[in-house]
Chain A
């Protein structure tokens, strides 16, 4: 049985219906990972023993006739910045290379309670700072759709794993596009839910006011099921809202967009966006029209022009503060020094990689006197202006369509001349984090060369179900992506 081609729902239905056992499913996925991952490098830690124990317990529960959760027997992987009880959590950094948490993140607990089986942890950019998954201490992950290209980042391991058929579901975190951009690069579906929708307890954060976690899947129906499992209040995370969530799965049953008004973003420099990605937007607009939606064009001048600068001021400032705890004493890699300050410096120098140290430096600079008043404080106000711009837009439209990334997946090792140019890659994704909006990266096809094309959908905050519904209708037209053909790439 080729389990790797099945959706999470098909696997769970089969386990519940006793067509196959959780153990059979798990063994099949673990074999695929072990066969393929020496080349892809998407998985950094496998927890086979725990996974087999969980599968055995699940099969015993089925034999006893117990009611099982929505994800019964579905194997999944998580980015290596989710705390996992008894399993190392490294953030792909030497700083945490041997850190073993003593508790599970709430998201992991909820997945396990729904019957999902944790197989391991996925590769990422160090401390989630990057968009290529090349800055990991475990080495770079390759894109399963084209091994000469990066999978995106920072959740590149999770996206590559789903595209490669290692699992039907992986979880990632998204501070400025880190779920959506790798999902786009690897040709799968990724969602950053609204800020406050899912508990982040147990996530090694990067920027508390921007971070959100979410699912990466190969179809929107699976994504909605994961949202049903993860989106709930949590007494351990005061930023997680306690409102009564609707059923996300029920929202993806619609087949048309009648009565929906969808905006298409304009006002950005189209010369800077790859033509195939602009074509993907035009094709999606046609789908939406055919499905009965009204389409309008909108310009969001503040977001278009200032989002990246605003995002980096806030992200880097907060990151320098957040990562101060990794000093070789309270947390992290330790080097001896002749006094406290030398010990701090030695530990942080050797524990952090180049990009992390660079971001801490810029962030510290932004928070010092003069720079704080001139850059950080205005950025917090510009953030409100961007949030207001979106709030005004969503008074009259249901969703916004725009690109995810200006480019198709980059070639491995490609380096821009300066940081500012690299950071501009986040121009379309960072606004959803600044304004706390739900956003979906939706694969809508492939170029003749086999590279994925995609669009981004954004909606009003806490209207995640409506966004999933629209994404589901578009997916019905475009088709959901299949597993990457690893034999073509010489991986199998």
Chain B
């Protein structure tokens, strides 16, 4: 049984943080209308009785053979590294995951 839910502004702010997406407050109403429109569409699934239905999974006719897990020569290392958003020599450059802000508080905790 589906419990009808809607998304409100508080929840939207949480979701924006989780999805690492920013949104100006002026667009909140439009996005909430759209999200709740989709949720309302899904509320109709309530009428189905799926208590005894298993979750979906694929059947296969013949499993694909797995490739041998062994190192192979590859001459495109440099081309690959060039695709790094920020390259530093032979490495991808990344920011600190744990850092301190101006007040010596942990960021990202």
What residues make up the interface of A, taking CB atoms closer than 8 Å to B? 86, 99-103, 195-196, 209, 233-243, 302, 305-306, 308-310, 312-313, 316, 320, 324, 327-334, 337, 339-341, 343-349, 352, 357-358, 360-365, 368, 370-371, 374-375, 377-385, 387, 418-420, 423-424, 436, 462
Contact = CB atoms under 8 A, between A and B. Distances in A.
A33 to B, nearest CB: 27
B108 A339 contact: yes
A374 B3 contact: yes
Contact of A238 (B15, B18, B40, B64): B64
A100 B79 contact: yes
Contacts of A237: 64
Interface of A is mostly: helix
Contact of A368 (B18, B40, B50, B58): B18
B21 A241 contact: no
Contacts of B63: 238, 241-242
B86 A334 contact: yes
B53 A345 contact: no
Interface in B15-64: 15-16, 18-23, 31, 33-35, 37-42, 44-45, 48, 50, 53-58, 60-64
25 contacts: A100-B82, A209-B58, A238-B63, A242-B62, A306-B44, A306-B48, A312-B42, A328-B85, A339-B99, A340-B97, A340-B107, A341-B108, A345-B20, A345-B21, A357-B21, A358-B34, A361-B16, A363-B19, A364-B18, A365-B15, A365-B35, A378-B45, A379-B45, A381-B54, A423-B38
Nearest to A334: B85
Contacts of A349: 21-22
A233 B64 contact: yes
A315 to B, nearest CB: 11
A320 B19 contact: yes
Contacts of B66: 235, 238
A360 B101 contact: no
B20 A362 contact: no
B38 A312 contact: yes
A313 B31 CA distance: 17
Interface string B63-77: 111110000000010
Interface residues of B, number: 59
Interface of B: 2-3, 5, 7, 11-12, 14-16, 18-23, 31, 33-35, 37-42, 44-45, 48, 50, 53-58, 60-67, 76, 79-80, 82-83, 85-86, 92, 94-97, 99, 101, 107-108
B15 A361 contact: yes
Given A196-B58, A420-B37, A309 B48 contact: no
Contacts of B11: 365, 368
B107 A419 contact: no
B20 A381 contact: no
- Among A209, A235, A330, A361, the most chain B Cβ lie within 10 Å of the Cβ of A361
A250 to B, nearest CB: 20
Given A312-B41, A362-B35, A348 B60 contact: no
Contacts of B31: 358, 361
Contacts of B62: 241-243
Given A374-B3, A419-B38, A423-B38, A340 B21 contact: no
A242 B20 contact: no
A195 B5 contact: no
B97 A418 contact: no
Contacts of B5: 370-371, 374-375
Nearest to A302: B48
- Which 4 pairs across A and B sit closest by C-beta, in order of nearness? A334-B85, A235-B67, A364-B19, A243-B61
A380 B54 CA distance: 9
A462 to B, nearest CB: 6
A324 B19 CA distance: 8
B10 to A, nearest CB: 12
A341 B107 CA distance: 8
A350 B54 CA distance: 40
Contacts of A238: 63-64, 66
Given A235-B66, A364-B18, A102 B56 contact: no
Given A306-B48, A329-B85, 4 more contacts: A238-B66, A241-B60, A309-B42, A418-B34
A371 B2 CA distance: 9
B40 to A, nearest CB: 7
A392 B37 CA distance: 32
A296 B98 CA distance: 64
B97 A368 contact: no
Contacts of B94: 329
Given A233-B64, A241-B64, A420-B38, A305 B18 contact: no
A423 B3 contact: no
- Among A99, A306, A368, A381, the most chain B Cβ lie within 10 Å of the Cβ of A381
A12 B14 CA distance: 57
Contact of B21 (A310, A360, A382, A462): A360
A209 B12 CA distance: 27
A340 B96 CA distance: 7
